[in-house]
Structure 1
Amino acid sequence: MIGLKKGKWHNWKKRRHFMSEFDDIVKKKVLSYHSVAGGDINEAFQIQTEDGTFFVKMNTISNLDMFIQERKGIEAMAACHVIGTPHILQSGTTNHHSYLLMDYIESGKRIESYWQVFAQQLANMHRTFVGNQFGFSSNNYIGSTPQINTFCDSWITFFKDYRLRPMLNRNKENLYASDIQRLSKIMDHLDEILIEPEQPSLVHGDLWSGNVMTGKDGKAWLIDPACYYGDAEVDIAMTELFGGFPQTFYTTYRQYGCLRSGYEKRKNVYNLYHLLNHLYLFGYGYYGSVLHCIEKIERSW
């Protein structure tokens, strides 16, 4: 194309390429689309068609399983019928990409009691009966990191063998021998810090402010889960890891009895998992946070 710079030429080709794929994905005439925030892992788009607006996340074909597992998590939360989640339409592949297609969530103005209602809805999800074992129907991902969900009768054993130990193994090149010894000691004494919940809870698994949206109804909607059946406290602990929610959220949540005595000590163990994952994914910038977390755990027993 005469007069079109190389960069713009490639963008134009990419636009035509995506338009063709979108037609195949939504099975409707695409009127327009634009890129939206989709996290560090995926490309994401809002698609306008003759029949409505859709949201699609895309990645390489080899990463299809990430979308399959995300879909399972969203559908598990939706099955509790207590909190807003996206309506999933389908997951699959085109000739060039894997994708996850869902209805577009229209944003609204938060209701006045937003944080109290969110806390109540999350507590109700956590209190929904999901069986007597910890784990999930399939392995999934925390970010892009594989997450093992083999069923287990003991929460403490599950968290040690399928959360902390795999993450420690992934980070052996990022940690000093002394760090590994300290982490191994924590795992050896985990039964002195953690306690067994009365029953497993369906947890979001990656609950921070970036994975909570305000829907058209003005209430909280949950997105991008890493679901499994675990201790409800892991979700609350992670909300505190990166900034936290307003105090009214925690005050309301506590009224439903899902946090037990000693939570302030246990939350550091639960957040150690996420900090180790960030160290693994993003590197040395999280090393100091990992050490600080280890120190807090060591002081707690």
Structure 2
Amino acid sequence: MDPLSLLRKAGLSAQGPALPLHGGDMARVFRVGPYAVKLAPNPPRGLFQAEAQGLWALEERGVRVPRVYWVGEEGLVLEYLEPGPEDWEGLARMLAALHRRREAAYRAEPGFLGTFPLPGREGGEWTTFFYERCVLPLLKATWDRLQGLGPKVEALFQDPLPAEGPAPLHGDLWHGNVYFSREGPALLDPSFFVGERGVDLAMMRLFGGFPKAFWEAYRALYPVPEEVERALPRYQVYYLLAHVHFFGEGYLGALWRVISAS
């Protein structure tokens, strides 16, 4: 389906052409007037509904996100946010406030990392929750491509991960999912769940893109204990398994490095 057809299905109209925007690796995004229209080729069932639920969850917790106008199996219609200046200190304030929140328990609705489906889960001890909900499905999907690293991944989660308390997470917080709008920093394309903030911090460190100004402001607002710092490579395993799944064995070197650092 093309973006103009999706807008018509949503009962929305806009003047002007559909202009391609950056949409990551899994989707195509177009600006059509005041809307950002997101589509994906052969999306798995529930993909866009899960993204919309994540955006609503973040918005309820004080995070700036694009408004959701319409969601269906075919795609998503969002508010187009006009670009603005970089504000890393503002992003630090927003994320520190999000990560400081405490929820009743670890919790995840059925969702996705990229287009990879992840199960729902609620409650329990953190290490078991994270391993069984996030790591194990990807480990099973990639086992035959890991060249013997599978047992090493399993062994990483025999010891408990540090637990500061259940916090709401973006869940896929690489720099491409941060957007600086005229109104201030915003987050895009979440893989929302309630877990430990180290998961977000680990992804932010994995591929870089967050400058010193951000980290200084974030740490001043919400210092990161040494035990959380030491756990970040174990959380990065989750994201690198996803990259092996989507993009192939070229990521095995990076996977080996974080295993070795754990």
Using the alignment, how far apart are the partners of 1:175 and 1:123 within structure 2? 35
Using the alignment, how far apart are the partners of 1:248 and 1:29 within structure 2? 39
TM-score (structure 2 length as normaliser) = 0.93
Q: 1:69 aligns with which of 41, 44, 50?
A: 50
**1:179-223: CA deviation from partner (whole Å, max 9, x where unpaired):** 2222222222x31xx1222x2110001111100000112x21100
**1:58-116: CA deviation from partner (whole Å, max 9, x where unpaired):** 135653511000001010000012x31111111025xxxx0101111100123xxx222
Residue 253 in structure 1 maps to residue 238 in structure 2: no
- Residue 146 of structure 1 and its aligned partner are, at CA, apart by 1.2
Correspondence 1:184-199 to 2 at 5 A: 184-188=154-158, 190-191=159-160, 194-197=161-164, 199=165
- Match for 2:10: what amino acid? I
Residue in structure 2 matched with residue 243 of structure 1 by the alignment: 208
Using the alignment, how far apart are the partners of 1:282 and 1:262 within structure 2? 31
- Give runs of ≥4 in structure 1 deviating > 4 Å: none
SS at match of 2:70: strand
Q: Which has the larger radius of gyration?
A: 1
Residue in structure 1 matched with residue 113 of structure 2 by the alignment: 142
Runs of 5+ unmatched residues, structure 1: 1-13
Using the alignment, how far apart are the partners of 1:235 and 1:250 within structure 2? 13
Correspondence 1:87-166 to 2 at 5 A: 87-93=67-73, 98-110=74-86, 114-131=87-104, 133-136=105-108, 138-166=109-137
Correspondence 1:141-290 to 2 at 5 A: 141-177=112-148, 179-188=149-158, 190-191=159-160, 194-197=161-164, 199-217=165-183, 219-257=184-222, 259-290=224-255
Question: Are 1:232 and 1:258, in contact at CA under 8 Å, matched by a contact in 2?
Answer: no
Identity %: 27
SS at match of 1:70: helix
SS at match of 1:266: helix
**1:35-62: CA deviation from partner (whole Å, max 9, x where unpaired):** 22222222221112xxxx1111013565
Question: Are 2:91 and 2:185, in contact at CA under 8 Å, matched by a contact in 1?
Answer: yes
SS at match of 2:144: coil
- Residue 167 of structure 1 and its aligned partner are, at CA, apart by 1.8
Residue 84 in structure 1 maps to residue 75 in structure 2: no
Greater relative contact order (CA < 8 Å, ≥ 6 in sequence): 2
Shift in alpha-carbon separation, 1:270–1:60, aligned structure 2, 3 A? same
Question: Are 1:64 and 1:92, in contact at CA under 8 Å, matched by a contact in 2?
Answer: no
- Match for 1:119: what amino acid? A
Question: Are 2:30 and 2:37, in contact at CA under 8 Å, matched by a contact in 1?
Answer: yes
Using the alignment, how far apart are the partners of 1:296 and 1:211 within structure 2? 26
